[in-house]
Structure 1
Amino acid sequence: MTSIDQLTRLCPPPADPPPVDWGTVEATLGFRLPEDYKRLAAVYGPGAFAGFINVFHPRGVTEWVDLTGPVPTAMREQLQRDKAAGRPVPYDPQKLFTMGVTDNGEHLFWIRDPQDDPDNWHIAVDEARGPRWFTFDGTLTAFLVSVLSGETAVPQFPNGLRQAATAFTPSAPRPSAPAPGSTPLPTDTNVIREWARANGYDLPPRGRVPAAIFDAWIEAHGGE
């Protein structure tokens, strides 16, 4: 049984996920994607696993969870700054590609090594407000199966996740273009940090911007 078969047994997919033009997506990104991810995205569409793990999708509900959106570039730049400042980043930031986020603000990465063999990329997870990293020596789909089945415990994830219902909750995709008159979303996360602090959000000085604050920014600036 393949990993995608195991995942669909754990988390039944929605009936009508949106189609994806993978040729256009890969041309936009400039590299090939793992076959397991393309199957995963085609079967499930955009949404969240166990109400916690959001895998980026080419038809993401906002550009902040869109595989071709600004987050992978912004995160790579942030990791380069972290590494230069002596904070723990166990991999070359140029080999990390952000492709998911949790509701707690952790990010999921492909370790793109070797770059020309995407089906052998492994998974890394950072810590939202701390220095810990976790590495899974397998594909994204195998990672989801292992975590949601309780076989693998990611230290950064809540203890109750394995006891939570292993459901997939789809999200309705929106057009990628901003609504007329809306404020463009920034690619620099420092802009969001400054806005969050100015509006009374409890945001740590280091670590990743929590997904809830991204959502608050979008709502405050005319996102749909």
Structure 2
Amino acid sequence: MPPLTALTALCRPPAVVPPAPNWPQVEDTLGKALPQDYKELITTYGPGQFCGFITLYQPHAPSEWADLTGPMPACLRGQIEEVQRAARHPWPLPHSPENLFPMGVTGNGGYLFWITQPADTPDEWTIAVNEALRAPWFTYNGSLTAFLVSVLSRTTRVPMFPKDLLDHGPVFAPSALESSTPAAAPGHP
């Protein structure tokens, strides 16, 4: 079963999602192609959180802190490099910072990264998770969607994720969609 089909069976996507981003434009802005599974995942689910814990960065998000195309990815890579330089005994990274592309955040301050090797083959990128830009690191040898399926089906346990992550089952809570229609004043239809 394809990972997106498995994910939608585990965790129902919202009935209404924003229009899909203009992927060629997003990739031009980033200067790199993105994994096809990520594009399908964002198109299917839109913005929101898995299990109230995992938030994926979105292209052109309203907040720069969740914007895949904003300053956050470069800022996080710079912070990793700075922490490594300042550490007396630097911890081992799964790959060099320039090959780590942040694409999500967790409720406990951890980050999700693509390991962007090989650079020209994004569908082969794997996943790294860390705890607040410090050790430990967890790596998953598969796509983002396969990672979500594995975590949400309890096949993979990420040590820095809370033990009670799935106590209420695998769920996706969409972010509130911005409305272009002003709300009616109270007491008026």
For 1:130 and 1:93, locate their aligned partners in 2 and report how far apart those are by CA, in whole Å: 12
* Number of equivalent positions: 175
Aligned to 1:33: 34
How far is the alpha carbon of 1:82 from its aligned partner? 2.1
Does structure 1 conserve the Cα–Cα contact (< 8 Å) formed by 2:80 and 2:133? Answer: no
Aligned to 2:65: 64
Q: Does the residue aligned with 2:166 lie in a helix, a strand or coil?
A: helix
How far is the alpha carbon of 1:80 from its aligned partner? 1.1
How far is the alpha carbon of 1:130 from its aligned partner? 4.9
**Which piece of structure 1 moves more, 67-76 or 25-34?**
67-76
- After superposition, what is the alpha-carbon deviation per residue over 1:43-91, rounded to whole angstroms, capped at 9, x for unaligned? 0001100110001111535221111122101101011112223422331
Letter in 2 for 1:92: S
- After superposition, what is the alpha-carbon deviation per residue over 1:3-41, rounded to whole angstroms, capped at 9, x for unaligned? 000100111111121121101111100000000000000
Letter in 2 for 1:80: E
Does structure 2 conserve the Cα–Cα contact (< 8 Å) formed by 1:61 and 1:171? Answer: no
1:139-154 matched pairs, under 5 angstroms = 139-154=143-158
Alignment partner of 1:137 is 2:141? yes
Q: Does the residue aligned with 2:29 lie in a helix, a strand or coil?
A: helix
For 1:93 and 1:41, locate their aligned partners in 2 and report how far apart those are by CA, in whole Å: 25
Letter in 2 for 1:124: A
For 1:116 and 1:101, locate their aligned partners in 2 and report how far apart those are by CA, in whole Å: 24
Q: Does the residue aligned with 2:169 lie in a helix, a strand or coil?
A: coil
Letter in 1 for 2:104: G
What TM-score, normalized by structure 2, do the two folds share? 0.87
Compare the two structures and name the one with the higher helix fraction: 1
Does structure 2 conserve the Cα–Cα contact (< 8 Å) formed by 1:60 and 1:173? Answer: no
Aligned to 1:185: none
Alpha carbons of 1:129 and 1:33: their partners in 2 closer, same or farther (altered >3 Å)? closer
Aligned to 2:187: none
Alignment partner of 1:81 is 2:82? yes
How far is the alpha carbon of 1:173 from its aligned partner? 5.2
How far is the alpha carbon of 1:162 from its aligned partner? 2.9
What TM-score, normalized by structure 1, do the two folds share? 0.74
Alpha carbons of 1:72 and 1:130: their partners in 2 closer, same or farther (altered >3 Å)? closer
Aligned to 1:96: 100
Structure 2: give runs of 5+ residues left out of the alignment.
Answer: 180-189
Aligned to 1:17: 17
Supply the RMSD in Å over aligned alpha carbons: 1.7
Identity across the alignment (%): 52
Letter in 2 for 1:23: P
